[in-house]
Each structure stands twice: as structure tokens, then as C-alpha cells.
Chain A
Amino acid sequence: MKAGSNLEKILSKGLFAVTGELGPPKGNDVSVVKRKADLLRGYVDAVNVTDNQTAIVRMSSIATSSLLIQMGIEPVMQMTTRDRNRIAIQSDIFGATALGIKNMLCLTGDHHTFGNQVDSKNVHDLDSIQLIDCVRTMRDEGTLLGGEEKIEGKIELFIGAAENPFADPFEFRVVRLAKKVKAGVDFIQTQCIYDMKRFKEWMKMVRDRGLHEKVHILAGVTPLKSGGMARYMAKNVSGIIIPEEIIDRIVKAKKPAEEGIKLCVEQIQELREIEGVHGVHIMAIEWEQMVSQITEMAGLLPRPKVE
């Protein structure tokens, strides 16, 4: 065991893992965290806590993750390299692990110009692959990055990263995954999948390189709420591909939200059958109340208790 987190135990036992996602409040209102936590508790094995996603200022992922632990939920603390240099990154890892955080997702982060502090200076001292290498060094070597300096205490983290099979250049995406594996990543959560054909093609490339045996891949899904949302995402979000027939299905549905949930459940069932997919990451953005229904309909409940 590298960190002994619930997520790590489930994945290492070969069980199909389910993770959720929680966006912290745009302020210090703990009741927002509590409300979302109550909607996710018991339906997922761990919950990702985003780190100022889309560069909108929110409660820090470390503080929110710590609150989740108090509320009986295991967090996956996301950390981006956008806002921290390697001094802050390593200091925050000391703090986060001291607070009991055991899973960490290493990200580059959305560009700051997408957010509400466009005048800020972005950092990018490290990129996400170098961040993985940094965390692995701290955990496995017990030293700081690039130095002999010994860490007081023990860093125990289950290291995750993201991967997007729908960004370009397509042939390079699997190379990038291989680099993340080489850097020491333990699990991957993918961008939300709608283009099943492309995802399967990517998974084949993953298997051809034997990467599915070295890293746990959790397939990302996001239920579509409406035809408008589907069209908006397909048109405006780089790195997300939504095939026409899916947009059509949601647009033409009598009850688009219901159809979106149904589609999400079908996707989970299809993803589950793919060799090398070890779990699913449900990103129900500001729609956390649907996670119980999605997991129930997809036959993912009850979540296993592991020791």
C-alpha cells in the first residue's frame, strides 16, 4: 500500500471504483460543502475536490478536502501547477498529508485567463508530469524535489493524474500517459467521455503499450442536463467531443435531463466492459443530487467496504 486510502484499497483489490467530484464554494460557506457532501456520501469511494477550477477563485482544495474528511468522506485533493511554485507545492503537500489527505490528483490547471482573476501572473514552475515526479520523489525517496533534503515524517499519497483522449494530437495522448506512468502515477481519471469510438481506440493504444497493467484508469463521465448544455460543450469546450447523435438524442428527448441520466448510465455500463478500465469518475457538475440515481441505475451500489 502506498497510502492506504479507500480508493487505493478498492483498486488494488480489483474492484470497480467510483469517484465523484465536488466544487468548493466561491467563499467560505461551509454549508455548501456539507450539502454537496451529503449528496455524495455512500455513493462513491472518494470525491475529487477541484482546485480553483476554470481559474475561478474558490475555497482551497486542501481546506475543503480536510472538511470532507471531518464529514466522513474520502477526498481526492486536486492540485494544479498554475498557482504554485515548487516551494508552495511541497509545503502544501506537507500540510495536506498532515491533515489526513491520502489521494492527490496532479494537474496543470485551466489557464488563468478563463477565470475571474485574468490580471494574475500564472506560475507553471512545474508541469503536471513534473508534479507527479515531485510527489513520487517525496513519497518514495522521502526527500524534496531535486535535493538530498530529508523530509520530517512520511508522505503517503495515492498519486493520480488526468488524461484527455479527446484532445490532440491524438497519437500523442498515449505517449503522454506513458510519461505520466514513468513519472510515477498510480491512477488516471479521464476527461468526460461521449465519443465512445475514440475512447476505445485510445484504450487499445493503452493496452498495446501494456499501460493498463501499470496504472488504474477511471473513465470520466458527465451527465448532460439539456440539449443546450450538450451543444454548448461540443462547440465551446476544447478537448471535449460530443458526437452529433448524442446531441440529437438529448435535444429531441421529451425530458432531456432524464435522457441525460439514462445515457450516462448506458455509458458507464459500456465503459465497464472495456479491458483496462478499472473504475468510473462521475463529474456531475452542480448536479450532485443525481449521483445517487446514476450509481443505483448503473448497478454500482452498495459501494464495497474494504479493510
Chain B
Amino acid sequence: MIKAEQKPMEEILRSIDPYKKILLSGCGACVTVCHAGGEKEVGLLASALRMARKKIGKPLEILEATPARQCEPEYAQDLSELIEKVEAVLSLACGVGVQTLVRYFPKMPVLPGVNTTFLGETLSHGVWEERCQACGNCILEKTGGICPISRCAKQLLNGPCGGSSKGKCEIKKEADCAWQLIYDRLSSLGQLYKLEEIIPAKRWGVESRDSGLRRIIREDLKI
């Protein structure tokens, strides 16, 4: 799922400084799972912002909402009644959710309250780690199901660099070397022969973000 982290309080206060009444909108999907922008975080942040603004003599009125998925048109549109009553929206959804509101409410300022960080998984309670860069052409079949594009600091496709030491990456000592994980995994699957094959230069410019805006069109689903 998408992982995000709340922006620093000072940055949020600065961005909402011109406004007296805002909607604080969370999202019931990914940011709820990673405790960055669910209903609970909306409530906590709203209280903190009210207090901070009261302290400086600039009280702030905050309406609160947490649509099930802010990035889906029907849920975003459900916010229209609330949005009519405010000067700006502070969104705790990911960058996608922010832009869905922007698309439906052209005259309403929508400000991000979180930094959208990565596509990752939960390692343990309160710990998340990146797993996918949405590169557009999955190579997990070749690498034992472990992604070197998201997990190797140099995105190496043909094995570890000279900085792989005792299973760790030289860039971040707490990070496992992706290629050590790939080696161990293919070894336990009895598939080490897969490492002998050269993975050719990736087609970043055709398959990934570098190709310009990506879009999926499913003719069979279009109305």
C-alpha cells in the first residue's frame, strides 16, 4: 500500500495560515493503515491545530471528514457540502487523494498535510518499508520475488555492488542488501542459475515514469 508521513506541524501551520475555516480531510484507505491520515489522525491533528492557532490569537475553525477513499470520485464528491462551507482543505490523504479533490473542486485550495513516501509493506507495528517503485514492468520473476529497483540504493539489476557487506547495504547500515536477499532466496529455491543470466538495460523511457504521464485504459470496462 501507499505509505505516508505527516508533515511537520510548523509547515502545516504555515500553509493554512491565511485561512480561518478549513476542512481537514483524511482518508480511510492506505493512510489509515499507516497511521498518517485516518480518522484518528484527523481528530488529533484538528485539536493540535486549533490549540496552536488559539495560542497566537488567530482561532481556526476546522470541519473534519474521513472519506473511505479520497482518491475515488464518488467519495471525493461526497465532500462537496462540507467544502462549500470552508476556505481551504487540508488533506491527510496521499498525493493522489489531494489531486482528486483538486480535479473536482477547481476553486478550492487543497493543501497536503502528509508527505507521500513510498509503496511498501508493514514489517512490524509502526515499521514500514519500501517494496515497489511502480516501474511499469515487473522483474520479480527473475529476482526471486525481491525487488532490486525499490530495495537496492543503486537499482542494480545484475547483482550486488562492492559495498554489500555481511548482508547489509553500505548506504544505510540498517538496510539489508537487496542482492544478498535475492541470493539467499534463489539459493533456498534451488534457482541460483537465474543469477547467471544478464538482465538487459531496462526500458525506463518506455515503461516507467520517464515515458511521461502513464495511463491505463481498459476498453472492456469503459462506459
CB of B70 to closest CB in A, whole Å: 29
Q: Per-residue CB proximity of B139-169 to A under 8 Å, as 1/0?
A: 0000000000000011111111111111110
Contact A124 B155 (CB under 8 A): yes
Q: Per-residue CB proximity of A139-165 to B under 8 Å, as 1/0?
A: 000000110000000000000001110
Consensus secondary structure, chain B interface: loop
Query: Any chain A CB within 8 A of the CB of B174?
Result: no
Query: Any chain A CB within 8 A of the CB of B200?
Result: yes
A146-B201, A178-B196 known; A167+B160 contact, CB < 8 A: yes
Q: Closest chain A residue to B181 by CB distance? A: A169
Q: Kindly identify which residue among A134, A182, A239 contacts B163, using a CB–CB cutoff of 8 Å.
A: A239
CB of A237 to closest CB in B, whole Å: 8
Contact B201 A145 (CB under 8 A): yes
Q: Closest chain B residue to A126 by CB distance? A: B201
Contact A127 B204 (CB under 8 A): no
Contact A168 B154 (CB under 8 A): no
Contact B157 A239 (CB under 8 A): no
Contact B166 A168 (CB under 8 A): yes
Bound CA span A307–B22, Å: 80
A108-B154, A167-B160 known; A130+B200 contact, CB < 8 A: yes
Query: Any chain B CB within 8 A of the CB of A172?
Result: yes
Contact A127 B163 (CB under 8 A): no
Q: Which residues of B have CB within 8 Å of A145?
A: 201
Query: Any chain A CB within 8 A of the CB of B171?
Result: yes
CB of B130 to closest CB in A, whole Å: 15
A111-B153, A183-B198 known; A127+B164 contact, CB < 8 A: no
Q: Closest chain A residue to B161 by CB distance? A: A108
Q: Which residues of A have CB within 8 Å of B157?
A: 127, 129-130
Query: Any chain B CB within 8 A of the CB of A275?
Result: no
Contact B195 A127 (CB under 8 A): no
A167-B160, A167-B162, A239-B163 known; A133+B170 contact, CB < 8 A: no
Of residues A128, A133, A163, A238, which shows the largest number of chain B Cβ atoms within 10 Å of its Cβ?
Answer: A238
Contact B171 A111 (CB under 8 A): yes
